[in-house]
Structure 1
Amino acid sequence: MKVNYKKISPVISVIVVLAAAFLMYKLNALTTLRSDDFNYHYSFADGTRLSSFMEVVKSQAAHYKVMNGRIPAHFLMQLSTLFGKSVFDVANTIVYIFFILLVLYMIKKSWKVNPLTFMIIFVILWFYLPAFGSTVLWWDGAFNYLWTTVICLIALLPYRNPKLYDYKVNQFIFPIIGLIAGWCSETTSAGIVFFQFWFIVYWLYNKRKHVIPYVITMFASFGGYCLMTFAPGQMQRLNRVSGGEIPILKNMYHFIVAMGSRYYLEIIIFILLLSISIFLQRNKELNYLAILFFATAILASCTLIMAGIQIINERTYFGIETMIVIAMGILVKNIFADQLSVFQKMNLAYVIILVPLFLINYRAAYVDVRRTYNEYNKREVYIEEQKKKGEKELNLNAINSTNDHSPYYLTPDLSPNPNHWQNVTKSKYYGVDKINKVN
């Protein structure tokens, strides 16, 4: 009996999405508290444990003055501490799946899920996104990178699908989203404003009408970016990391060298795909859109270096590399626009190759995350035992990992210095006077 693929495809899509959600939830549930997670349980206003919405608001008002300007991420982080880690695990899993759907929407302008395409993007993001454990699984890290990138992509939805502004309510909603998106990240938010500006320029060049809602959203995003960049806490932070001086030409040189060495392969592939798309006379607007996403990634990667920050954490590249995946995906889709059967066969071949590699890598990550989870729980039991004995000074083993999908990968859990903030915040969280690292 011949199977009707069109009828069973929606069922397969649901199964694939649920399987991906299950795999991500398992990792989320095994990810423990670390680093800033302990600190953000307490108010920046008065140092007390957060217990209400208004306390979170007061804490973020103080945070804006003394820490940095990324209020949306840290507001969500502190708000989530009121509900607990288990609620976050479920919410974060849903947000990650929605993140994949947003990436796919930016590529093909459709919410319809093709199971093969979904699996390919899911696997590509697993391998390609930087510091996966710290940007997707880690509690505070997820809010700062995954969730803020989702907000930024939502702000770009009307630019990918102009029909969204046909609804008047969206002309009010998206400027608000744009404001929040501009307030999210030093890198990705700068890229968003750049994207919006050049998209509007392109529309004006082609004499398209009804650009006012896009201009309003762009200015809202720029306003959000200014609120973040010129926050008192942000200015203090930049002065600390840049030493108060920003040599523009020297930093530009470092930028070119850093981006050339990091993304040379992506640049070559992008130019190759763009050349093929132009040669085959594919949709010009999609080619421009791909160029705009890729240029957005490059500009976003430039912002911190130009601000005087020479050493950039891997996590910072999360939004940047998301834009690169979107740009490449648009070109591939554009190239195979009139060869859907060939495209589907190619997708199937990639799934056959990539999924087994993913499962092997996922198993290794799962084993390592479970190991750190067990070590963390043993340490929790030990801490409680010592506290019951009346101990106020604890000697603890730090938890470490060499797996690049672990939240503990290349990030400190404890410092040899008991007065370091990593140790001090844990001391406060556990209600002891001092924590020493012994390994």
Structure 2
Amino acid sequence: MRILKGQGGASLRREDRSSRRTLYWAVAVSGVLFFVLNALAPLYCDDYLYAFHYGTGAPIASLGDVFSSQYVHYFTWGGRTVAHIFAQLFCWLGKPLFNLCNTLVYLAFTWFLYRHARLGKKDSVPVYLLAQLSFWALLPNYAEDMIWLTGACNYLWCGAIVLGFLLFYRIHWDRPQAFARPGWTPLLFAVGVAAGWCNENTSGACLLLGVGFLIALWVRDKQVPLSLTAGCVGCAVGLALLVLAPGNALRKEYFQESSSLFIRYLKRFETATQQLWDNALLLVLLFAALFLYIFFKGERRRELLLPTFFFVAGIACNYAMILSPYYPERAMFGVFAFLTVACLQVLQVSVPWRREMVWAATGCALVLFAGNYFFASLDCARTALYHRQQEEDILAQKAAGVQDVVTFTFEGGKTRQNVDYTGVLIGEDPSYFVNQHAARYYGVNTLIARWEE
């Protein structure tokens, strides 16, 4: 009997090692596919703006320029200092380095998604892939959140910081006293400040989730480590630095609303609800169906607590946008992050045959992804070629002494994985903000783009 037990243990260890190797291959392939899309993406829209110092207007030329520019930015435009430090840093260091770093951050972000969903359980390649496919298939403006340089720094990079910060709480939930040592306190405070200083709705939901963990830990253990408390305090400090930035008040002047206060917030509530309905309804319904199944079955109700935390954070992240006069689709990134974790967590506890269900769902999703990726990469390659030709045309005219450049335009992206999907391109109006930023970037007086006859 002892021999059989030993053989069985060895077999399980081999299975675990095989699963881990397969998972690492999935991570590597995901990174390569994501890097290709990054390499095909050009500088775009606000990237031209952040290549210059916000105060002096000179090109960013050093790390000191990045920080001094963001100091001016904080007082004149907005408080997303963490995100825009990254954006200006890579506008200075160059797109090729950003492509590599953005891929690494993407892998970190998806790994954090996976660990939040799968912590304490055996490795599962389907769960890791489903975490990515949720964003690929449902995120309304994938490229603006994940691939566009300035957009990725605002959403993907900040999302990675937030989920990385919350992973401390998630680990401590499963392994009490994991971060009870005093030495963890300054680290969690610092990471908490960074997580709170990311972007408004995601950081607000992060603080809500962190406080939820503290309350649940107090109820369960009758104590909360100082380090986790310090993390929430840091997050609150970062969030205050974000929302109280003097530049926010100045930027609001660009979004004047003439309606009464009641009508104004009613419209914003309607917009937030419409965004959730149009883009995240599938995740909401999936969570609700699995939650109700487990709740009424009654066997594993206690395991619904963490999924519920993340689901509430996702809904709060969406409706926090009521406080903003403008709700672009890219601001749903945090909503998708929290809802995806909630759905993956509740999927782990849903039904006895969950493994077969997950593999079947993943297989179908991968088939659809393969076809979609093929068309998306072709679309990105097409616009990348046009961008390169357009840049060569602009630089050739500049070299010939032309300062009022007229170049050609082209059809924007057709897939959500293309940064040109929203069609914010150099146009025919020289006063258009993209034209002005691009003209300064290329060092010409004016720049317009027209359809070739």
Would you call these one fold, judging by a TM-score over 0.5?
A: yes
Report the equivalent of 1:49. 59
Paired amino acid for 2:231: T
Tell me the secondary structure at the aligned position of residue 130 of structure 1: coil
Paired amino acid for 1:60: Q
Counterpart check, 1:296 vs 2:313: yes
Partner residue of 2:171 out of 149, 161, 174: 161
CA distance, structure 1, for counterparts of residue 107 and residue 129 of structure 2: 11
Tell me the secondary structure at the aligned position of residue 223 of structure 2: coil
CA distance, structure 1, for counterparts of residue 270 and residue 228 of structure 2: 31
1:16-45, Cα deviation, whole Å (9 max, x unpaired): 211111111111111100101111111112
- Note the C-alpha offset of 1:416: 3.3
Contact 2:141 2:329 in 1 (8 A): yes
Instruction: State which drifts further: 65-74 or 13-22.
Output: 13-22
Structure-2 change in CA distance of 1:275 and 1:92 (3 Å): same
Report the equivalent of 1:402. 414
CA distance, structure 2, for counterparts of residue 141 and residue 76 of structure 1: 11
CA distance, structure 2, for counterparts of residue 85 and residue 166 of structure 1: 41
Tell me the secondary structure at the aligned position of residue 376 of structure 2: helix
1:19-77, Cα deviation, whole Å (9 max, x unpaired): 11111111111110010111111111211111111111110100101111000000011
Equivalence map 1:100-111=2 (5 Å): 100-110=110-120
Counterpart check, 1:116 vs 2:126: yes
Partner residue of 1:134 out of 144, 147, 155: 144
RMSD: 2.3
Taking every aligned residue pair, what percent have the same amino acid on both sides?
24
Partner residue of 1:213 out of 222, 227, 234: 227
Counterpart check, 1:89 vs 2:95: no
Paired amino acid for 1:55: D
Instruction: State which drifts further: 274-283 or 33-42.
Output: 274-283
Tell me the TM-score normalized by structure 2. Answer: 0.89
Tell me the secondary structure at the aligned position of residue 165 of structure 1: coil
Paired amino acid for 1:160: R
Equivalence map 1:271-282=2 (5 Å): 271-282=288-299
* Count of residues in correspondence between the two structures: 432
Instruction: State which drifts further: 239-248 or 34-43.
Output: 239-248
Contact 1:129 1:322 in 2 (8 A): no
Report the equivalent of 1:152. 162
CA distance, structure 2, for counterparts of residue 411 and residue 126 of structure 1: 20
Report the equivalent of 2:437. 425
- Note the C-alpha offset of 1:79: 1.4
1:136-172, Cα deviation, whole Å (9 max, x unpaired): 1111111001000111111111221114413433222
- Note the C-alpha offset of 1:238: 2.6
CA distance, structure 1, for counterparts of residue 37 and residue 90 of structure 2: 18
Partner residue of 2:381 out of 343, 348, 370: 370
Structure-2 change in CA distance of 1:176 and 1:382 (3 Å): same
Give unpaired runs (5+ residues) of structure 1: none
Tell me the TM-score normalized by structure 1. Answer: 0.92
Contact 1:33 1:139 in 2 (8 A): yes
Tell me the secondary structure at the aligned position of residue 394 of structure 1: strand
1:266-290, Cα deviation, whole Å (9 max, x unpaired): 4333222111122333544531221
Structure-2 change in CA distance of 1:182 and 1:80 (3 Å): same
1:371-398, Cα deviation, whole Å (9 max, x unpaired): 1110011111111211121111111234
Counterpart check, 1:329 vs 2:340: no
Report the equivalent of 2:3. none
Partner residue of 2:45 out of 20, 35, 42: 35
Structure-2 change in CA distance of 1:373 and 1:282 (3 Å): farther
Tell me the secondary structure at the aligned position of residue 406 of structure 2: strand
Instruction: State which drifts further: 269-278 or 235-244.
Output: 235-244
Tell me the secondary structure at the aligned position of residue 33 of structure 1: coil
Instruction: State which drifts further: 412-421 or 68-77.
Output: 412-421
Counterpart check, 1:229 vs 2:243: yes
Report the equivalent of 2:185. 171
Counterpart check, 1:438 vs 2:450: yes
Paired amino acid for 2:366: V
Report the equivalent of 2:363. 352
Structure-2 change in CA distance of 1:133 and 1:112 (3 Å): farther
CA distance, structure 2, for counterparts of residue 7 and residue 254 of structure 1: 50
Counterpart check, 1:143 vs 2:153: yes
